Structure 1
Amino acid sequence: MNSIHQHIEHGLFADDTALWASSNTITNLKNRLQSSIDEIQNWCNAWKITIQPSKTEPLHFSLHPRKKYNNELEIETEGVTIKPVFSSSYLGIIFDHKLNWRS
């Protein structure tokens, strides 16, 4: 896990893992996240741990909540392309893409 991209932060608790990053472009953000996920996947493969793509949820926060982006933040794990969600739960807290805490 020490080889995760330097601009990526991560949180580990029991069997939950979260990665987060910021960037000024979607392309740069996607590249950072994808390279880190690839490193985590390599580590998991070495330790015979399986990542569950059905439980993997990318969530994109933006300073411009009404701005539409041409490129969605799609990542890939275990050969499955994961599309972003509008809300996600981590350690019992539900985050939504606008951070308005209504979920």
Structure 2
Amino acid sequence: MSIYCTHELLLLAPNEPCLQKMLDIVTEWCEAWKLTINNSKTKIVHFRPPSIDISQSTFTCGGHTLLFTDSYKYLGVWFDEHLTFQKNAKELSKAASRALGALCGKVIRAGEDN
């Protein structure tokens, strides 16, 4: 019998060595409790000003090299690597457009019933 649970974990570190140490601790904890990390969903976002190049460090977790991504959604808010919130505004706009379209469709269908 296998049990499938999903949980989200966010690690924030002031520098590359600290982040790798945190990832090592997560790996050890998961091994001790016989848990696995979904490496396809485990990514690194290097938050920085646009004038700073992305980190060239390689990060590993659970024996796998982690890939960098330019944004991350946490608690419903999109954070991009430069903390501009442009992606968040774009995603909220798309969601509002979908909701408005659904609402308009319901109003039109309700009018057809009368």
TM, length-normalised to structure 1: 0.70
Q: Quote the RMSD (CA, aligned, Å).
A: 1.7
TM, length-normalised to structure 2: 0.64
Shift of 1:87: 0.6
Shift of 1:65: 1.4
User: Quick one: percent identity of the two aligned structures?
Assistant: 33
* Structure label with greater radius of gyration: 2
Q: For structure 1, which runs of at least 5 residues remain unmatched after alignment? A: 1-13, 23-28
Aligned equivalents of 1:32, 1:73: Cα separation in 2: 12
Equivalent residue in structure 1 for 2:77, among 93, 96, 100: 93
Letter in 2 for 1:82: L
Letter in 1 for 2:13: A
Q: For structure 2, which runs of at least 5 residues remain unmatched after alignment? A: 1-5, 88-114
Q: Identify the residue that residue 62 of structure 2 maps to in structure 1.
A: 78
Q: For 2:44, what is the secondary structure of its paired residue?
A: coil
* Greater strand content: 1
Q: Is the 8 A contact 1:72 1:84 kept in 2?
A: no
Letter in 2 for 1:17: L
Shift of 1:73: 3.8
CA deviation map 1:40-78 (0-9, x unaligned): 11111111111111111111111x312225x42431112
Matched residue pairs, number?
A: 82
